[in-house]
Amino acid sequence: MSQPISPRASRRLFRSPGPLRRAGDRVEVASRLLCALVVLLAVPVALTAATVAGTSARQRADDEAATRTAVPAVLLADAVAATGAEAAAGSVRTPATWHAPDGSRREGPVPATAGASAGQTVTIWVDGDGDRARPPLDTAGVVSAAVSTGMMAFLVLAALALSGHLLVCRALERHRSRQWDRAWAAVEPRWSGRC
């Protein structure tokens, strides 16, 4: 169970300490508040982006499922790994033949398990023309698209808010440093006895 922010912590976070507040201190507090507000508003924006991306991905998955078909392909040669990388991947592109949805015969390379023999059957996905296609997007792909889009939206907004706040703080620090240098240049000669 999370604890609410104590009044002391909230004063430190959102108010300038002490009676000697400067205008720059108020600007820094306002920047801090704006940063916190943007991060809080990033949550519903991220959820909206995730919902839109999920809906779009679900539509794409439905379209792909309607236009793609799983068909058996017969290997025309043994699946032999040409390199160590192919053997490690476990999948070798091997010539095969299959029938398109219209019944015509097609031929081309398909992924097969290394060591598969000629004549064995592997399942591939084809589009309406009978050309090889990727499998339709599944539920895990839809969820992944929604989550990654939502997370990216949140991270981008949070990073922009934090970057903006840090830029304000840096500008204020430079301004304060210049003020300090001017004040010191005016006081130092009297203080050191050089006036």
Where b means 16+ CB within 10 Å and e means fewer, 20-54 reads eeeebbebbeebbeebeebbeebeeebeebbeebb
Q: What is the pTM of this model?
A: 0.66
Mean pLDDT of 113-139: 90
User: Can you give the length of the chain in residues?
Assistant: 195
Which pLDDT does position 145 carry in this prediction? 96
Domain map (residue ranges) of the chain: 23-63+139-192, 69-133
Q: Which amino acid is at 52?
A: V
SS3 136: coil
Cβ proximity of 61 and 142 under 8 Å: yes
Cα(68)–Cα(130) distance, integer angstroms: 9
| pLDDT at residue 1 is higher than 60 | no
Query: Would you state the structure tokens that stand for residue 145, as one six-digit string?
Result: 């698209």
Q: How far is CA 30 from CA 14, 16, 56, in A?
A: 8, 10, 38
3-state helix, strand, coil in the chain (%, to 5): 60, 15, 25
Please write the tens of the pLDDT for every residue from 127-186: 988 899 999 999 999 999 999 999 999 999 999 999 999 999 899 889 888 888 888 888
- Which range in 29-38, 39-48, 166-175 is most confidently predicted, on average pLDDT? 39-48
